């Protein structure tokens, strides 16, 4: 097995990948979509809402017609689809737009609710389409830790501010991003392989100068970028959901195999595809014995773009 220094070098591509091309023609895209469905369920179980009560109260006090919502990095659109169901029950008219740099996980438009539209867009590109500027009452952001690398949220929040109407709201949700937490149900049950992978991933990030500890200061970050009515909450994940979080994280770890060269191509590489598969299989075995992989809590922050 390679040591941490070798692994830092081997995994550098993980933190350099181009999201617009990485998923193209991948035979496992359906697994990524399934993982996002599971992740959405776990976020909702933890938070207990789709729209934060502060945002909802503000919208209810002066309901726009229609309510315009943007979901950035929308993946397969599951948050918007769930929101449409909730709004329809309340009789709320809405325009629900999802944006992602790669449309490979989008459902066919024919199978989406009429008010939901998913569009290909790099939300960090400049200039943004003019019709999007100042167009939205709510902008939703979830799981952007890899985008807000090194705690630099300015590119993301510049986009959010541009999209929001005056008085519009950002709702931002992240898993506690500073590494994986590995827990065993008993001192007699080993978690050494899961610990090793978690340490390797963190070491590889640190070697690239990347930091993911911004979640603890999301409220401060929003205030510094001009938002008002800022509020942040940290909610522990539910004990009964730890198995779900473990499965979700295992699917992320499994996807990393494609980032390593096959042994036949690079026999001297510190981490080959075959070695990763072997290491991953041992981690799975530990989870089958009850070991869990999670981030501990969800951090959610909301902030309002000033009305003037």
What pLDDT, in 10s, does the model give residues 165-194? Answer: 999 999 999 998 778 999 999 999 999 999
Region of residue 91 (phi > 0: left; psi between -120 and 50: alpha; otherwise: beta): left
Taking only the tens place, the pLDDT of each residue in 113-172 is 999 999 999 999 999 999 999 999 999 999 998 788 677 899 999 999 999 999 999 999
Q: Residue 21 — pLDDT band, cuts 50, 70, 90?
A: very low
pTM, two decimals, is: 0.90
Confidence band, pLDDT 50/70/90 cuts, at residue 13? very low
What's the confidence (pLDDT) of residue 20? 43
Cα–Cα distance, 294 to 256 (Å, whole number): 17
Cα 110 to chain centroid, rounded:
26
Rounded Cα distance between 246 and 233, Å, is: 23
Residue 112 token pair: 């989406």
Average pLDDT over residues 107-111: 97
Q: Return all residues near 182 (Cβ < 8 A) that are at least 6 apart.
A: 191, 194, 195, 198, 291, 292, 293
Per cent of the chain over pLDDT 90 is: 73
């Amino acid at each position: 097995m390679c040591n941490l220094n070798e692994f830092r070098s081997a995994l550098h591509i993980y933190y350099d990948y181009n999201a617009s091309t990485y998923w193209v023609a991948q035979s496992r895209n359906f697994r990524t979509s399934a993982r996002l469905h599971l992740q959405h369920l776990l976020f909702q179980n933890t938070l207990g809402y789709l729209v934060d009560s502060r945002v909802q109260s503000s919208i209810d006090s002066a309901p726009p017609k229609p309510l315009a919502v943007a979901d950035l990095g929308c993946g397969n659109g599951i948050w918007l689809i769930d929101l449409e169901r909730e709004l329809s029950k309340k009789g709320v008219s809405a325009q629900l737009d999802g944006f992602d740099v790669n449309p490979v996980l989008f459902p066919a438009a024919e199978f989406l609710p009429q008010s939901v539209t998913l569009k290909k867009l790099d939300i960090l590109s400049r200039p943004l389409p003019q019709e999007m500027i100042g167009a939205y009452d709510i902008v939703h952001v979830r799981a952007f830790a890899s985008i807000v690398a090194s705690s630099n949220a300015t590119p993301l929040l510049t986009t959010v501010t541009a999209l929001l109407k005056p008085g519009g709201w950002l709702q931002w949700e992240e898993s506690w991003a500073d590494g994986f937490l590995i827990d065993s149900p008993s001192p007699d049950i080993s978690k050494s392989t899961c610990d090793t992978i978690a340490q390797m991933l963190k070491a590889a990030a640190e070697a690239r100068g990347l930091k993911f500890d911004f979640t603890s200061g999301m409220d401060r970050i929003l205030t510094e970028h001009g938002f008002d009515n800022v509020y942040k909450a940290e909610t522990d994940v539910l004990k009964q959901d730890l198995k779900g979080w473990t499965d979700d994280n295992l699917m992320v770890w499994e996807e990393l195999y494609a980032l390593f060269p096959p042994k036949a191509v690079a026999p001297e590489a510190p981490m080959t595809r075959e070695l990763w598969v072997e290491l991953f299989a041992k981690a799975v075995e530990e989870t089958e014995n009850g070991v869990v992989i999670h981030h501990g809590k969800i951090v959610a922050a909301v902030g309002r773009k000033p009305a003037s």
